[in-house]
Amino acid sequence: MRKLFAAATIFLIFVLTACMTDSPAPITGTPRSRSFEISHVDASTQGEAVENYPMQVPVLFQIENTTRGIYEPSEGVYLGAWLAPHTSKRNFIDQTNKNHAVFVHEMYLCEEIPINWLLQCIAVLATPLFVVHPPQDENSEIPIGDKISHLAQRLGAFNLPMFVAFYPPGHGMIPQEYSVIFRYARALFLQHAPQVAFVWVAPGVESTTRNPFFPGHDAVDWVGVSLLAQRDNDGFVGDIIEQFTPFYHEFQAHHPMMVLPLGVSHFSRSDHIYHLQEAAAEILRTYQALAGFPRLGLVVYADAFRLAPATQDDFSVSTENDLISAYTKAIANMHFISILESDAPQEPGWARSAFTGYYWEGRIYVDTETLTTELSIPMPRTTIEMNGRIFTDAGRISGSGVTVSFCDIRHAILIEE
């Protein structure tokens, strides 16, 4: 079995006065069963208890005048993979029965560009994503600006669409120093490599735009976050979707987002037991749920990564038949796309409501606050109470100029003009 080790230490570039402690929390989980009490709250109908369980799903509504980020897809989520350095991309594609739009290479600043790896990306029509860490040589006499400029010029010379996740968590800098370097690097890449989309990787899912390490909207093209579904002796720790949802709502109005990386553990040294079936089910659940986040533009699966924070878990899928089968089934959803859009049309986009809806016995129920607060649609006279909140049957939304439908691909309710 492939084991993941991240033992590399990143030396400080400048004299630091503090270290970053805002590290991502372990997240993910297994689905829970819930009971629901449903009652009509209009004047003529009494509440009734039900035996079956309505399906709680996200609600997406169209928004006008959206400005897409560089390489943000007009529809769908790019597939990405983070493989071991010498793993064949073609073999991984053959294993999963689907091309991947993005592959990841992890490197230190000042390392040479891996030409052979880059050519392999080009051969499979994939876009490279470079995760760039601070240089290891803290005693180098070369100014940091010159090192960043050299990297930008080298990548810009290829004249290809790329992503650069610059100085992800683990750099050891204080916020002020980090922001200055990040913004300076962004300026150099705009000058020398304008085809590179610049990615800020958040310290954790609890991060907001007020996080001291956020370098500013003008310096960021995409926002990334790591979602690693780790295990302890009692199973998965937390719930990956519940953790990601508030992070998504914080950034959806500003930037496209990527999960960098996503990993579901099937083995932990805390109990030294393989949990292949649980991991397979969680992979399927996670990808299905992530299709319901319209500004999530890229999901990179962590089959292997080198410099990431050390964990006790094995997240790989390519070495286990049960896991590669689950991953293959999960990404078969046509919402996950295999080729980069270099020029997506500027057309109406989608926002994810802060409130969920229900799909039950072929009928759609929308939270009344989605209508009144987010869409300025008058509340229908007939409503239904579900799990302590007030909903309306979508069939009763009349005269509002909207169409409500359920999308099997996104597993979500869609509200369109």
Pair 191, 81 in one domain: yes
pLDDT band at 137 (very low <50, low <70, confident <90, very high): confident
Pair 265, 386 in one domain: no
Q: What pLDDT does residue 340 have?
A: 96
The stretch 106-135 carries a mean pLDDT of: 96
Domain annotation covers residue 149: yes
Pair 316, 210 in one domain: yes
Pair 168, 251 in one domain: yes
Domain annotation covers residue 64: no
Pair 285, 329 in one domain: yes
Residue type for 250, please?
Answer: E
- Domain extent, residue 381, equals 37-59+349-416
Last residue of a domain, one of 274, 302, 337: 337
Last residue of a domain, one of 287, 312, 337: 337
Pair 73, 176 in one domain: yes
Of 95-109, 172-186, 334-348, the one with minimum mean pLDDT is: 334-348
HEC letters along the chain: CCCCCCCCCCCCCCCCCCCCCCCCCCCCCCCCCCCCEEEECCCCCCEEECCCCCEEECEEEEECCCCCCCCCCCCCEEEEEECCCCCCHHHHHHHHCCCCCEEEEEEECCCCCCHHHHHHHHHCCCEEEEEEECCCCCCCCCCHHHHHHHHHHHHHCCCCCEEEEECCCCCCCCHHHHHHHHHHHHHHHHHHCCCEEEEEECCCCCCCCCCCCCCCHHHCCEEEEEEEECEECCEECCCHHHHHHHHHHHHCCCCCEEEEEEEECCEECCCCEECHHHHHHHHHHHHHHHCCCCCEEEEEEECCCCCCCCCCEECCCCCCHHHHHHHHHHHCCCCEECCCCCCCCCCCEEEECCCCEEEECCEEEEEHHHHHHHCCCCCCCCCEEECCEEEEEHHHCCCCCCEEEEECCCCEEEEEC
Pair 382, 296 in one domain: no
Pair 117, 157 in one domain: yes
Residue bearing the bigger pLDDT, 54 or 124:
124
CA distance 336 to 392: 31
Pair 47, 130 in one domain: no
Specify whether the CB–CB gap between 226 and 307 falls below 8 A. Answer: no
29 has a pLDDT exceeding 50: no
pLDDT digits (tens, 9 = 90+) for 330-360: 999 999 999 999 887 777 889 999 999 999 8
Pair 255, 285 in one domain: yes
Task: Report residue 260: phi and psi, to 5°.
Answer: -140, 95
pLDDT digits (tens, 9 = 90+) for 244-272: 999 999 999 999 999 999 999 998 877 88
Domain annotation covers residue 199: yes
pLDDT band at 11 (very low <50, low <70, confident <90, very high): very low
Task: Report residue 68: phi and psi, to 5°.
Answer: -80, 150
Domain annotation covers residue 82: yes
Pair 393, 310 in one domain: no
Please name which of 276, 263, 202, 266 lies closest in space to residue 228, comparing C-alpha atoms.
Answer: 263
Question: CATH number of the domain that 177 lies in?
Answer: 3.20.20.80
**The model's pTM:** 0.86
The residue whose two tokens read 């109470």 is 385
Last residue of a domain, one of 311, 337, 363: 337
Of 80-84, 266-270, 302-306, the one with minimum mean pLDDT is: 302-306
Of 53-57, 83-87, 114-118, 139-143, the one with minimum mean pLDDT is: 139-143
Pair 269, 408 in one domain: no
311 has a pLDDT exceeding 80: no
Domain annotation covers residue 343: no
Domain annotation covers residue 274: yes
How many domains does the structure of the chain reveal? 2
The stretch 310-327 carries a mean pLDDT of: 90
Domain annotation covers residue 237: yes
